[in-house]
Amino acid sequence: MFQHLKCIKQNYLEHFFDAISYSFMSLKASFYFCIHAIWPDIFIMDGSKQIEKLNEILIKKKHKLNI
């Protein structure tokens, strides 16, 4: 049914939970950046660290699938 799921070798629920977790990680980073924009002395590196963490997860997944 979904070609993307075949390519990444996941069922719908596996994909759903992965995608939702990436979304929440992105929202968390966005929150850090927004608060940092208002008050520069807090969350100085937190948004960047969150993006780096998400990037590491996605790179590992990409290598695992040999994409």
Going from the C-alpha of 47 to that of each of 31, 33, 56, 66, the distances in angstroms are 8, 6, 14, 28
* In the predicted structure, residue 67 carries a pLDDT above the cut 80: no
**Number of domains observed in the structure of the chain:** 1
Residue 43 corresponds to which tokens in the numbers above?
């969350």
* Helix-, strand-, coil-residue percentages of the chain, each rounded to 5: 80, 0, 20
Domain of 18, in residue numbers: 3-65
pLDDT at 58 over 90: yes
Chain center to CA of 21: 7
The verdict on pTM exceeding 0.85 is yes
E strand or H helix at 44: none
Model pLDDT for residues 2-56, shown as the tens digit of each residue: 999 999 999 999 999 999 999 999 999 999 999 999 999 999 999 999 999 999 9
Q: What's 43's DSSP letter?
A: S
